[in-house]
Structure 1
Amino acid sequence: MKRLYSMIFTLAVGLQLHAAEPWTVERCMQYAADHSHAVRQQRFALDNSRAAKTQAIGAFLPNVYGSVSGQMNFGRAIDPETNTYTDVSTLYNGYGLQASLIVFDGLQRYNELRMAKVNVAMGRSGVRVEKDDVALKVYKAYMDLVYCLGAIDQTTKKRDESRALLHQTEVMAEVGQKSDADVAQMRATLAADEYELTHMQSQTTKAQLALKQLMNFPADSTLNVVQPTFEHEAEQTIEESPAQISEYAAMANPRIVKAQQAVEAARFSLRAARGALLPTLSLSGGVSTSFYRNLDKGGHASFSQQFKNNAGEFIGLSLTIPIFNQLSTSSTIRRRKIALDQARENLEYEQSELHRVIIEAASDVENSTKEVAKMQEQVEADSLAAHLTTRKYEEGLASSIDVKTAAVTLLQSRVKLLQSQLTMAYNKKLLAYYKGEKLWTDQ
């Protein structure tokens, strides 16, 4: 019993340590790709396509079935032994084994099998598309959470500075260097900072819940994220042009591959429908036997003897030529032709949309890189201005309103810098994904 308690305690501690471990963005994306509900739904669709493929393969196999029949005749009937009419009661059993095979059906089964194979490949592409989509959403939600955490850090620093400045103002007011109005203004500034900090904590909780929802992570479990650094992020440049990235993505992006496979599947489906216009040639054969017994008198042969003597075989070849089936075949062909046109139109849309997104992401990377550089300069300038304003306030050369304005300006600059850095990181990640780089590394 002690050993059991020890194992349970060790497992619980291990789970707590696992939950307390910091989660990188790559780890979050991989977890979401493995546990997302949307990815699981795509896996079910893939399994369904595999089952349809198995069914399409089975259509090439012969159809074999056996039959057993029993019949009792009372009154006038044909005697199976003499093939003459009789009025005695008889018992008749029939046994048969038959097989049929479609030799030619206008290549319907062949095209349906090819369509099923393409559907399986399309199902794999669908799983990959859903994994990539949820991974990018997780990356964006992760950056939103990092932004909230960074805003809390900056707001906490400003709150602490306001608290220290309030204490300093109260001391200076006691010796007559500051007025009560200055003390009241500093208290109001501290209260505003406390409110802003509480507000950002609330936003952080919402951002964390949004990230857990995308990951399908337990909402009541701890999820500590690693805040990335952007020291060398601005120095990394994209060497390929948007046109080069679009050219590569048009061949390798899973969403484009899936759309191309949908066109191919629709083409095979149309060919299968057109095959119904051609004749169908079927081959069939089988064996049968019977047992007869007169219920009014004996003298019949034994079951084994009749089973052997009454056995017979047959083979047949049938040709079915379609003439008119209430426009069913022509309507099916028309619908599948429309489906093929829709698949082609969807492929064109995905290609144009992909090209647009890549151009937009490349533009965002360029603009956000410039914004980061400018915001870094602005943060340095606002930091110096806030420091000088505080010194002037201590010397009586600036008012408390000036101090508040300078501090708020510095906070806004720092937050905007963080936002620009996160936007730049996301857009670079997006471009790298379209270049063919993996969103995460399997661990």
Structure 2
Amino acid sequence: MKKSIIIILLLFGVFAQAQNKKWTLKECVVYALENNISVKQSELDIEIADIEKLTAKGNFIPSLNAGAGVSENTGLSFNPITNNAQTTTFLSASGSINMGYTLFDGLRNIRQLQRADISKLSSQYRLDKMKDDISLFVANGYLTVILNKANLEVLRSQNDVTKEQIQRTQELVDAGSLPRGDLLEIRATDASEQQSIINAENNIQISLISLAQLLLIKDYENFDIEDEGYDIVDASIADKDISEILAKAKESRSEIKIAEQSVELAEMDLKIAKGANLPTLSAFFGYNTRYANTPGFIQQVDPNNPTVTQQIGTVQGTGQAVISEFPNTFAVEVAADPFIDQLYQNDGIGYGLNLNIPILNGFNTKGSIQRSKVSLERSKFQLEQAELDLESTVYQAYVDAKGALKSYEAAKLALESQQLAYNYAKERYDVGLTNAFDFSQSKLRFDNSKIELNRAKYDYIFKLKVLELYFGIPATELKF
């Protein structure tokens, strides 16, 4: 009984721990990369590329086909063994094995295999880009939750101060040191802060649900994140020169690699299209055999009259007949040979070479080559555009990170100023030198400066991580 109770308690503890699990950012990113539908679709593209490569390799293997057939014929039919017309019912069977091999096809087989390798590499780069995008989405959603939680903490902390002020003001009003209007003003401030706290709690729930949906987690009620220990880490990336970051981005970013692979694919397609202008040489070998159960006929000499005399011609000039003796034979029906014997007796082989020289096919090959050239030029323009877009994006990310840092530093200075102003207003209010409205306005500005500092902080963290991604740091290795 005691053992059962212990096991139940242990299971309950494990269940409670699972329910109270708080996800770290790295856990969220890894989970998203393993379960996100878009990532899974990109992984399927790699599988398709593997299949294309397998098919391209198969073009170097000879084709081998076997065939067999059996039929029963009634009436006038051609005997497949004697090739004579017969009016009868007979069973026939046939079998064949054929092999073919392409010796030369304008190097198209080789080009197809090379193209399959390039296509797989391009699919891998697309998967890498998808993972980077998903990681950024997750990081942004995660930081949004942290920001909302930090704002809620600010609101609750300041509301605690407001409640203390209500008690303090109540005492001063009861003592006749302050008018009752000041107490009503402070209570109105408390009500407004309570409303802000409720809105902040709703924002947290909404951001948590959005993050859970991004991770494909359906247990919204128990989903939560680890909201401690996240600060500005390794800001040295923002101190690097923009040219260094841009060079690293061009070297490592998947956008450029995808565009480069598209150019290589277009070049390979052009070579494949040009290969259709070259002759195709193939070899073939075939083996076939047949069987029929129809009886055969043999010529047998008549034992009673073994020879017959027949005229075979005349002597030129005299007209004298030329007589000769021939065996006197007659047809005798015999049973069909055994199945195995017929397979050996009736088999045959065929082999040879086929040469196909393209001369004119309605300009199809020429049109295919022209289309491939146009596709190649388009892919080159797309590569150039991708480089320009990346350069613009990196510059924008660099400027955003610099601007976010300045905004963060300005928010810290603003908070310090608002802290001093709030302390001064509080001192004046406590001694009755200022009214409740002015004090509440000072407190509101102080609260807003804290919230703005939180926003600036996490905005800078996110934009700093975006810049690190462009510098080639993998999404799973970003530090927070």
- 1:403-414 matches, cutoff 5 A: 403-414=439-450
Query: Per the alignment, do residues 235 and 12 of structure 1 end up closer, same or farther by CA in structure 2, a change over 3 Å counting?
Result: same
3-state SS in 2 of match to 1:212: helix
- Residues 134-177 of structure 1: per-residue CA shift (max 9 Å, x gap): 00111111111111111101111121111211222122111111
Tell me if structure 2 keeps the 8 A contact 1:89–1:295.
no
What SS class does the counterpart of residue 238 from structure 1 fall into? helix
Whether the 8 Å CA contact 1:27–1:440 is kept in 2: the answer is no
* Structure 2 Cα separation of the partners of residues 89 and 229 of structure 1: 91
Structure (1 or 2) with the greater helix fraction: 1
Change (3 A) 1:8 1:262: farther
Whole-Å separation in 2 of the counterparts to 1:327 and 1:15: 71
Question: Structure 2: how far apart are the matches of 1:233 and 1:294?
Answer: 93
Equivalent position amino acid for 2:378 in 1? Q
> d(CA) in 2 for partners of 1:413 and 1:186?
20
CA separation in 1, counterparts of 2:6 and 2:369?
Answer: 68
Q: Is the 8 A contact 1:25 1:226 kept in 2?
A: no
Shift of 1:73: 4.0
Closer, same or farther: CA 13–82 of 1 in aligned 2, 3 Å: same
Q: Would the aligned equivalents of 1:19 and 1:223 in 2 still touch at CA under 8 Å?
A: no
Is the Cα–Cα contact under 8 Å of residues 53 and 113 in structure 1 kept in the other structure?
A: yes
Q: Classify 1:280/1:77 alpha carbon distance in 2 versus 1 (closer, same or farther; 3 Å).
A: same
Is the partner of 2:293 in helix, strand or coil? strand
RMSD: 2.6
Q: Distance in 2 between matches of 1:198 and 1:191?
A: 11
User: Using a 3 Å threshold, how does the CA distance of structure 1 residues 408 and 428 change in structure 2: closer, same or farther?
Assistant: same
Q: What letter corresponds to residue 312 of structure 1 in structure 2?
A: G
Match of 1:329 among 338, 358, 365: 365
Change in CA separation of 1:42 and 1:178 when aligned onto 2, cut-off 3 Å: same
Alignment of 1:303-342 (within 5 A): 303-342=339-378
Q: Is the 8 A contact 2:235 2:464 kept in 1?
A: no
- Contact kept? 1:88, 1:295, Cα under 8 Å: no
Q: More strand by proportion, 1 or 2? A: 2
The structure-2 alpha-carbon separation of the partners of 1:4 and 1:222, relative to structure 1 and needing over 3 Å to count, comes to farther
Corresponding letter in the other structure for 2:42: Q
Are the aligned partners of 1:234 and 1:372 in contact in 2 as well (CA < 8 Å)? Answer: no
Q: TM-score scaled by structure 2? A: 0.85
Matched with 1:161 is: 161
The one-letter code matched in structure 2 to 1:302 is P
Deviation at 1:347, TM superposition (A): 2.1
Q: For the residues of structure 2 that align with 1:34 and 1:41, how far apart are their CA atoms?
A: 12
Q: Which is higher, the Rg of structure 1 or of structure 2?
A: 2
Is the Cα–Cα contact under 8 Å of residues 159 and 190 in structure 1 kept in the other structure? Answer: yes
Aligned partner of 1:366 in structure 2 is: 402
The one-letter code matched in structure 2 to 1:179 is: P
Where in structure 2 are the equivalents of 1:196-207 lying within 5 Å?
Answer: 196-207=196-207
Instruction: Tell whether 2:259 aligns with 1:223.
Output: no
Offset at 1:225? 2.2
**Structure 2 counterparts to residues 88-103 of structure 1, below 5 A:** 88-103=88-103
The answer to whether residue 222 in structure 2 is matched with residue 186 in structure 1 is: no
Unaligned runs of 5+ in 1: none
How many residues of Structure 1 are paired with residues of Structure 2 in the alignment?
441
Residue deviations 1:42-77, cap 9 Å, x none?
111111111111111112111111111234444444
Q: Which residue of 2 aligns with 1:257?
A: 257
Question: Quick one: distance in 2 between partners of 1:264 and 1:235?
Answer: 38
More moved, 261-270 vs 282-291: 261-270
CA 1:192 to 1:52, structure 2 compared with 1: closer, same or farther past 3 Å?
same
Q: Hey, what's the Cα distance between the residues in 2 that align with 1:193 and 1:366?
A: 33
Aligned to 2:458: 422
SS in 2 for 1:277: coil
8 Å contact from structure 1 (residues 93, 291) kept in 2: yes
Separation in 1, partners of 2:11, 2:464: 40
Percent of aligned pairs sharing the same letter: 22
- Give TM-score, length-normalised by structure 1: 0.91
